[in-house]
């Protein structure tokens, strides 16, 4: 196995006992325009990983300039560490490996039409299904996740994995594919994640990104039935439309190549984009 990329050091944190304030945005986290206003609130207290270190009510904002929808703030490193100390059972490495293989295979097959081989970095790899399946196609699998137990679980299954933020990797041009499957909406500043992916990809490499689609009929129907789970999604800071995602990708040096409806989660979209 080849040596891994250099990583920034991380520090230990102590448990927190009471709700901590979010680090508030003073402008849109995508376009930096200061004209932002409250759109609505959501209840995250029923999320399976909820902890009282987070306030139960989430406030969602909208940017007047670019239309992006985002929470009023994001978590400190200490709050994030508290949340990341637990994991949903279906996101443990190896969970549901046979059932998930079919969904992952359809993703890998589409990606492989654009990039047939090389190192595949999966950011926020969860149960690891995408990496297990990419390896079947001949890709060299690498994982990155912010949950220490998840990274350790993947290493025990024989795949190189690190517990670190994407922006901490120092390996320019190392990867052929970087998957951000339901990841960008978790990043306080998604543009920084795309900039890091651009730096880490080789020329002509691709990213695969998936996330909830804020501007689709399924989303609006869920809203109409007051059954939309994403307004209370504890770890999400953003709700993207397809158009806003494409614009952000293009701003950071990516050309969108293919759009698909995601099979991974409800009301989600998938996009493959090439580094240019």
* Nearest alpha-carbon partner for 201 in 175, 231, 236: 175
pLDDT value at position 242?
98
pLDDT confidence band for 1 (50 / 70 / 90): very low
pLDDT of residue 143 exceeding 80, the answer is yes
How far is it, in rounded angstroms, from Cα 132 to Cα 275?
Answer: 24
Selected residue with higher pLDDT from 109 and 94: 109
pLDDT value at position 99?
93
Q: What are the pLDDT digits (tens) for 255-272?
A: 999 999 999 999 999 999
pLDDT of residue 11 exceeding 50, the answer is no
Mean pLDDT of the chain: 93
C-beta separation of 173 from 201 below 8 A: yes
Between 22-31, 58-67, 90-99, 162-171, the lowest mean confidence (pLDDT) is in 90-99
pLDDT confidence band for 37 (50 / 70 / 90): very high
How far is it, in rounded angstroms, from Cα 72 to Cα 40?
Answer: 10
pLDDT of residue 13 exceeding 70, the answer is no
* Nearest alpha-carbon partner for 72 in 30, 20, 36, 35: 36
pLDDT of residue 152 exceeding 70, the answer is yes
Q: Measured between alpha carbons, how far apart are the two ends of the chain, in Å? A: 29
Q: What are the pLDDT digits (tens) for 167-204?
A: 999 999 999 999 999 999 999 999 999 999 999 999 99
């Amino acid at each position: 196995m080849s040596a891994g990329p250099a990583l920034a050091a991380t520090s230990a944190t102590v448990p927190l006992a009471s709700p901590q304030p979010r680090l508030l945005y003073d402008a849109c986290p995508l376009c930096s325009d200061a004209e932002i206003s409250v759109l609505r609130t959501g209840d995250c207290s029923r999320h399976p990983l909820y902890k009282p270190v987070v306030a139960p009510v989430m406030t969602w904002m909208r940017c007047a300039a670019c239309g992006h929808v985002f929470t009023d703030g994001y978590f400190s490193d200490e709050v994030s560490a508290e949340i990341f100390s637990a994991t949903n059972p279906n996101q443990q490495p190896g969970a549901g490996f046979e059932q998930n293989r079919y969904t992952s295979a359809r993703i890998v097959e589409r990606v492989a039409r654009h990039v047939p081989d090389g190192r595949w970095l999966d950011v926020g790899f969860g149960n690891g299904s995408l990496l297990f399946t990419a390896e079947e196609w001949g890709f060299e699998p690498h994982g990155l996740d912010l949950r220490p137990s998840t990274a350790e679980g993947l290493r025990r299954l024989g795949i190189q994995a690190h517990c670190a933020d994407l922006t901490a990797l120092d390996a320019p041009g190392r990867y052929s594919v970087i998957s951000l499957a339901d990841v960008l909406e978790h990043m306080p500043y998604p543009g920084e994640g795309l900039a890091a992916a651009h730096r880490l990809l080789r020329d002509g490499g691709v990213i695969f990104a998936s996330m909830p689609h804020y501007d689709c009929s399924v989303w609006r129907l869920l809203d109409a039935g007051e059954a939309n789970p994403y307004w209370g999604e504890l770890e999400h800071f953003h709700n993207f439309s397809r158009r806003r995602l494409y614009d952000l990708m293009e701003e950071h040096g990516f050309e969108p190549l293919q759009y698909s409806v995601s099979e991974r989660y409800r009301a989600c979209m998938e996009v493959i984009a090439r580094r240019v």
